[in-house]
Structure formats: C-alpha cells, structure tokens
Structure 1
Amino acid sequence: MLLLLLLSLSALLLGGDAQDRAALWRGNDRSGRCQYTFTVPSPTETSCPQTGGPELEGLKARLSLLEVLVARLSGGEAGGPAGGSRSRGQSELQTALNRAMGERNLLQGEKERLEQELQGLQRRMEEMRRETERLRSRPCPPQVPVVPPNPALQGGGLMKPAQGSNPMSHLVSRPNRQGDSSSLRDSAWQFGSPGFQELKAEVTEVPAPDGSVDSPGCGELVSVSEPVTQRRADNIEGKYGVWMQDPEAVSPYGPNMIWRIDTVGSDVRKLFGYDDMVQFTKGFPSKVLLLPEQVESTGATVYRGSLYYQRRRSRTLIRYDLASESTAARRDLPHAGFHGQFPYSWGGYTDIDLSVDEQGLWAVYSTNKAKGAIVISQLDPHSLQVKRSWETQIRKNSVANSFIICGKLYTVASYTAPNTMINYMYDTETSQGKPVSIPFKNKHYYNSMIDYNLAQRKLFAWDNFHMVSYDVRLGRPQPN
C-alpha cells in the first residue's frame, strides 16, 4: 500500500501541466473505512456533460419552491389579485366579528339588566308575601251587632245604639278637604316595604271627585279608559322607549307631529318624527334627527318646538331645538339623583322624568335630602331653571311610574300587573297628597313610560314593545 502511495505521488509530481492543480482527500466512506481520493483536472475538457446530475436539478426545484413559499408567507404577493381578495375577505370577517361582538355585548347587558329586575321582582314578591301573611294574622275588627228595630220607636222616635257600640263606627273616615295634612298623609310612607304600596292600591277605595261627566277644566282624574295599541316596535331597541306630541308645536313642524325615541342601548341618540298618527301607526318616519348628547331612559318630552331630555349618566337637562337641530340650553337639576339612584320600581335609570301639562314643564325626581321621596319641580321651559319645588310623602321606587295632569301628580302602582291602580295623587296647588284608587291596565305586562298628552288629552304609554294610549276623564274643578 505504501509503495502504491509513493508511486501515485511520484506521478503527481511528474504530471506536467496538471501537477500544480492536483488534489488528494482522505476521509471515511459510508461504511466507516478510511478512503483516499485523488483528483486531477482534465487537460483537454473544459466541462463535463450533465454537470450535477438529476439530484442537483431536483435540489434547485425544491429551493425554487421554498423561495415561493417564503415570499407568500412574508406578504410578497399581497399586491396581486389573490392577496387583494384575501385582504377583502379578512376585512369582511373583521367587520362581521365586530358586529357580532357588539350584538353580544348588547344582549349581555340586556341579560344582566333582566337578571337584576328578576331579583328585584323576587324581593318584592317575598316582601308582599310577608306583608300578606302579616295582614292575615291580624285579628279582624269586632263586628257591630245589628240591632232589630224597636216598634216603640218607629213612630218618629230615635233609635238608640246597642249597648257598648260606637254610634260613629259605621262611618268611613274621608280625607279632609280643608287642608288637614294629618288625614292626607300617605300611609305607605310609614311602612318599610315598597311592595305595600301596590297591595294598598288593591284594597283602598276613595270616592271619585264630584261630577260624572268629563270636564274641559282642570278637575281631578276620574277614570282611565282601556288601552289602545297604536303600533309595535320593530326590534329589540324598542322594548322600552318614549313617544310624544308637542301640545304647542312650532314651525316647521305641525301640531300633528309624533316623535319617538327607542331607549334600549348604550348610545341612544336617534329621534324619529312622523307627520301624523297614521304615519306613526304605519311606521314611516318623515324625519330622523341625531341628538348631540346621549339620552338617559324614558323621561323625555317635547314642548314649544324643543325636545327636553336627561343626558346619559348625569343630572344634566338638555333643551334641543327641533327647528335649528342644535342644543338651545342645558342645566343641572340641583341635587337630583341619576343613573339608578332613585328610579321607578321597574328600573331603567328612570331617575328624572320630564312631562308637560296645562301649567307647563315639570320634572319628577328625588334627592338624598328627600331620602327617596318624590320631588316635583316646575321648570322654566327656556332656561331650564327650577321655578318652584314640592316634596311629597311617597317613595319614588315604590311606584311603577307617574304622570302630571293640571298640576296634579298621579302614580301607578304596578308596571306588570294587567289590572293595577293609580294609587296616589299630589296636588301642587294645595301642597297636599292623598291615596286614590283608579283602575289602570297594563295590556302588555311591562309598562316603562306613561305621560300625559295635552294635545289629545290622552295618556301615552310604552308597554313592552307596544306604544299604547288611554283616554282620560276629569271631574269638575273644585271651587276655591
């Protein structure tokens, strides 16, 4: 072996032109044995045919394919037709995802609110059950024995009462109309359970005001008719809302114009206008305005060409001029609770309720100083400044809703009971309140808005997706 190696090296050294380009390698072969390799360039051929062989060509093809894949992954083809369609598809998917997330958030918020309302209803039912048991456990008052007529006294003599009976026990005490506040105080305020107010409405009977026919003046409320459904909301945003009519309309809108706001959602700003009741019933708005500030709940109203509403999450009142489509005035309602501090019993952030009657613009709310009792304030319709306030003796969260007619506040006991009562009246002229018992129906079992409409002398209400109206009858005004 050594001899052969020496001979090879000698041949290399004597190889003429190629001796300076010869090369010798040593390495293990595939079986692990040592192998020597000696290469010498050809003195005549410049290149070999089929250099690299099929393996090199396959390697080049694989490298080319790899380069194409790397270019695609790095966005090298984004500008091509396939990249453009892919970008559009991603944009559409993102838009659909955002829409689905928004709807999910809305439904989640609605679910949480409904769960809170369910818990509130369960608490009220439990309180009413306990109150009912307490009332049932109370002993019945002693019955007055019936005294048979005495023949000796029927000839014109007076009949004497039975021994030990009270001659005045058969009389029913009635509220004093001469200003005695002790007999007019609402007894519900003295009890701890808000549910007692609704129970009281079913058992209390107060005589209606004098006069059996409807009076064009400002007497007390005598009765409320059966509800008439005008239309149904189109989507979930209309489960709660407010619809209104301006009793003193201002150009460019006529006196028949109907306005509507759907109040479900976190960004409530759309105000829909309808030329008349027919178009409102058909659901064809002639005007859609985008309000500059978000609306809180169902307490808005229209008056003298302006929309009055509460700005979301604040005690700020806004007067929005419908003609110029701009904010005309804004002012905080002093000390008023907001965003769930003192709502009606149905909830819905109904802390501030604005309304209009024969005497102007009103706000119904409560404050910490009033400890949750209803406060009534008459507002300047131009500046929104408080002109005068009254503090009642009935808690705001113990009633379902309220409305004002002729300067008198009326409260409704339940927002879900199909047959409930208007159970309390407060007269701002005399600064006195008293319990009343006027039948009222919630046709669709969830009444979230009730307001007096002076233009048609009706009550407008929003009852579980439905916009309904009630005719009202007033008694003759009482002489001063």
Structure 2
Amino acid sequence: MFLLLSLCVCGLLLGGDAQNRAALWRRNDQSGQCQYTFTVPSPVESSCPQSGGPEMESLKARLNLLEVLVSRLTGGETGGPQAAGTRAQSDLQEALNRALGERNLLQQEKERLERELGTLQLRMEEMRRETERLRNRPCPPQSPMVPPGTPLQNSGPMRPATGSSPMSHLVSRPNRQGDSSSLTDSAWQYRHPGFQELKAAVTEIPAPDSSEDNTGCGDLISVADPVTHRRADNIAGKYGVWMQDPQAVSPYGPDMVWRIDAIGSEVRQLFGYEDMEQLSKGFPSKVLLLPEPVESTGATMYRGSLYYQRRRSRTLIRYDLGSESIAARRDLPHAGFHGQYPYSWGGYTDIDLSVDEQGLWAVYSTSKAKGAIVISQLDPHSLEVRRSWETNIRKTSVANSFIICGKLYTLSSYAAANATINYVYDTTTSQGKAIAIPFKNKYFYNCMIDYNMAQRKLFAWDNYHLVSYDLRLGRTQAN
C-alpha cells in the first residue's frame, strides 16, 4: 500500500498537467470500511473524457444556464417549450372566440335585414293592392256648383266638436289630384299613413263690399300664387320651417327671418337672416345651436321666443332668443307624437304650433279623440293649455293646416299642383264647414304652412323651396 502511494506521489511530481487534473474519491466498501481512490491521468489518458466528478457537475450547470439563456432569447419568457405551447394555445383560443363573436354579429345583422326585407315586401304588396283597387274604382261624377244655402248631398247637419256624429262625407273620397300614400320620404322612416283626403265641397263666399279695407280678422277669401324666396342648398333642406316673429322684441327686429332645416337625426341649428334680401342671398347673420333637438316642421316664432316640439316626445319648449336658453317646457297632455297622428305627408308632424291674432295654438290629436284634430290655445309664457276644441276631422286625412283669427283651415293635398283649402273650423262657435279655396303647390311637396299675421301672408316650405302666399280676408260670415 505504501508502495502504491509512493508511485502516485511521484506521478504527481513528474506530470504538472496530470497534477492539475488529479481527482480523489471516497466511499464505503461492502465491509463498512472507508476506501480512498486517487486517480491521476497519464499523458495518453488525459485526452479521454471523464464520465463523472466535479467537472461533469460544473459542465451540467453551465449547460443548464445556456438552456435558460436560449429559452429567453427565443421565447421572450422563461418556462421552456411547454410554456410556449400553452401561450400559443391561448392565442389560438382567443382568435377563435373573436371569430365566433363576429360570426354571431353577422348572423344578427342578417336576421335584421331579412326582417326589414319582409316588412318592405309586405308594404309593397299593400301598395300594389291599393293601386289596383284605385285603378278599378270608377271615378265619381263631377258635382255642379252648389248655390249658397243649398245643403250638401248625402251630408247631415254640421255639428260642433262635442257631438258624437263624425263628418264621414268629408273623408269618403280618395285623392284624385296626384297624392298617394307612396309619396313619403325614407329620410323620415315613417310608416305607411294610409290617409284619405277630405272631400271638398264647392261653396260660394260673398265678395267683400267696397267699404272693407282688408285689415283685422275675417274669413279667408283667397290665396294668391306662391312667391319663391330661396331654394335650400342641400338634402337637409328638403323639409323645413321658416318664419318671422309677428311681435318681435329686442335684440332682434321684425324684419329678422328664421329658418330650420328639418332633415337629420339631431336637428338643432336655427339660422337667422337680417331680412328677406339676405335670406334670398343665403347669408345668415346668426346661427344658434338649440339645447334640445327639434321634431319635424311644426315650430313657430312669437314675442322673442321660438316654440317647438322636442324630438321623440310630446314636450313643448319655449326657447328665449335673447338669453339663448330654454325659458319653459311642458308636455302637451295626451298628444300623439313621432308618427302617431301626423299630417298625410308624414314627417312626424304630430304637433303643429302656430300663432295668429289670438295668440299661440297647438294642432294635434290624442287616443281619446281617436285621431281627430284637437286644437288647443296655449299660454305663451308657461305653455299651459288654456282651452281645447275637438273637431270631427281626422288629422291624417289632411295635408297640412294653419290658423287665422281663431279659425283652423286644412289643406287637401301636399303634392297636387292645384289643391284646395277644403275645411274651416271656427273655435268661437265650435263649428266647422267644408269650403273650396284654390291653393297651388308649385313644387309638388308642401311640408309646412304657417300664417304670419304681421305680413298677412302664408309661409310654406315646398320641396326645398321657401315660398309665401298673399292672402285676402273678408268679413266674418255668420254660421
């Protein structure tokens, strides 16, 4: 044993390289005694790789470190191939979920379009049947001129609004002057109104005597041909309302002209012009942004305030022009809105506000009135209803209306070139009667008519065009 140990020591002294690579192991043999093993590689064996020992452990540690570095460089995170596979699976699942969500949205859109297509097909079928029915229906014979005092054929006595018998003879004939229920505009998204025009009976109105000066209140005798003041610039101006304040207050004078284009989901712009000349040139001097959106063409101007209906509601708003703020708001009790009881041309014209010599008025209908025109006189300050009248005329059967001297006048057609003012209702006597005053729709789509008592004119909006009509009033006739 001593000899073996001496040889090992000599080997260490003779071979420096071998000394640097000597290794010592210690373990227990089968008998439980300690056994030491000392190994020194020879010059030939020093090139052979070892299978164990501290160098192998150090090499493994370095390899593990290299694996970690490579994983960070290739995967961006620690965790090895398993973590990378998990992340890839998660990304695929997320992409699949997004694709399924988009597919569901497209399916819902397809179903909505199919429902709309079905609705349009039903409407087209209804219109086709209605057209066929009108074609097959014989035209009634022309009625001769009815002398004054002669009762109308097949008509009962006229009754006030409190009566229970409707004036069915006034709504029994369909339009024969060019109107049809298909003359609606898609911009309003209004359903088929299915209206019937009033049957106008020709009556004579006595001519005024020479002592009349055509001032003050009286019955409407005639409407002159329209005068065009301006054409709208774009599609937003196909429908609209324009007006002057008959009792203007500071800071705006009586010559100021106001205009609202009524097409759009948020109609809020009010344009002001210094006078008619500036209106015709298209140079507004004032543009106001209303705090609440406007519904349709039923707005009016009175004593320094704009009165209008708030969009998709029965709420009336008084907008003070001086302070540029809302001065009052109030719901019109039980009034239909947003397409329940419009005029025959549609356009969500359920509530129509107007001004005459007696103040502020609202023309509308309710479910209690079963679609008949209701006239209410309003407090111009608080918008409270002072008094109401219920007529026997269906609101959807007339194209438009206006009020002069407390009398409601209705228009037979919004599209016929030669229409008529065919009915008048007097709030003083609570009675109505059929009349026939010629009225021209020069541009074949009249969506707004209002009376201006200061100018003694009718202002109208006819298919992009702002027009006015001179009026002649006569002596009030006894009923």
Please, what TM-score do these two structures have when normalized by structure 2? 0.65
Please list the CA deviations of residues 89-144 of structure 1 after superposition, one character each: whole Å capped at 9, or x if unmatched: xxxxxxxxxxxxxxxxxxxxxxx9xx98x959x967864763574454x8999xxx
CA displacement 1:420-466 (0-9 Å, x = unmatched): 22121111111111122122122222111111111211111111111
Equivalent residue of 1:324, what SS? coil
After TM superposition, the structure 1 = structure 2 runs for residues 401-480 of structure 1, keeping only pairs within 5 Å, are 401-478=400-477
**1:287 maps to amino acid:** K
How far residue 173 of structure 1 moved from its aligned partner, in angstroms, is: 2.6
Secondary structure at 2:322's aligned position in 1?
A: coil
Distance 1:139 1:354, change over 3 A: closer
Q: RMSD of the TM alignment (CA)?
A: 4.0
Task: Report the residue type matching 1:335 in the other structure.
Answer: H
Query: Matches of 1:21 and 1:228 in 2, distance apart?
Result: 117
Give the partner amino acid of 1:417.
A
3-state SS, counterpart of residue 295 of structure 1: coil
Amino acid at match of 2:253: G
Q: Structure 1 pair 170/263, CA: closer, same or farther in 2 (3 Å)? A: closer
Secondary structure in 1 aligned to 2:442?
A: coil
Residues 1:206 and 2:187 are matched in the alignment = no
Residue 145 (structure 1) aligns with: none
AA paired with 2:203? V
Identity among equivalent pairs (%): 70
8 A contact 1:365–1:376 mirrored in 2: yes
Cα distance change, pair 123–415 in 1 and its aligned pair in 2 (3 A) = farther
Name 2:17's counterpart in structure 1.
17
Alignment of 1:187 onto 2:153: no
Cα deviation per residue 1:9-52 (whole Å; 9 max; x = unaligned)?
A: xxxx9974277579xxxxxxxxxxxxxx979xxxxxxxxxxxxx
Counterpart residue type for residue 168 of structure 2: S
Deviation, 1:245, is 0.5
Alpha-carbon distance change, 396 to 283 in structure 1, aligned in 2, over 3 angstroms: same
Deviations 1:366-401 (A, max 9, x none): 000000011011111111111111111111111111
Letter in 1 for 2:422: N
- Matched to 2:133, the amino acid is R
Would the alpha carbon gap of residues 139 and 224 (structure 1) be closer, same or farther in structure 2, given more than 3 Å must change?
A: closer
- 2:108 match: none
| Partner residue, 1:323 | 322
2:285 aligned residue: 286
CA contact (8 A) 1:311 1:317 kept: yes
Q: 1:472 to 1:15 in 2, by over 3 A?
A: farther
CA gap of 1:21–1:221, structure 2 versus 1, over 3 A, is farther
1:307-386 correspondence to structure 2 within 5 Å: 307-386=306-385
Task: Could you tell me which runs of 5 or more consecutive residues in structure 2 were left unpaired when the two chains were aligned.
Answer: 1-12, 23-46, 50-72, 77-115, 176-193
Displacement of 1:281: 1.1
1:394 and 2:397 matched: no
Confirm or deny: 8 A CA contact 1:188 1:197 kept in the other structure. no
* CA deviation profile, 1:202-225 (whole Å, cap 9, x unmatched): xx3221344278722322212211
Q: Is the 8 A contact 2:219 2:473 kept in 1?
A: yes
Q: Is the 8 A contact 2:456 2:470 kept in 1?
A: yes
From 150, 155, 158, the equivalent of 1:173 is 150
The one-letter code sitting in structure 2 at the alignment partner of 1:187 is S
User: Normalising by the residue count of structure 1, what TM-score does the alignment of the two structures yield?
Assistant: 0.65
Gaps of 5+ in 1: 1-12, 23-36, 40-62, 68-111, 142-168
Q: How many residues align?
A: 355
Residue 325 (structure 1) shift: 1.1
Q: CA deviation at 1:332?
A: 0.8
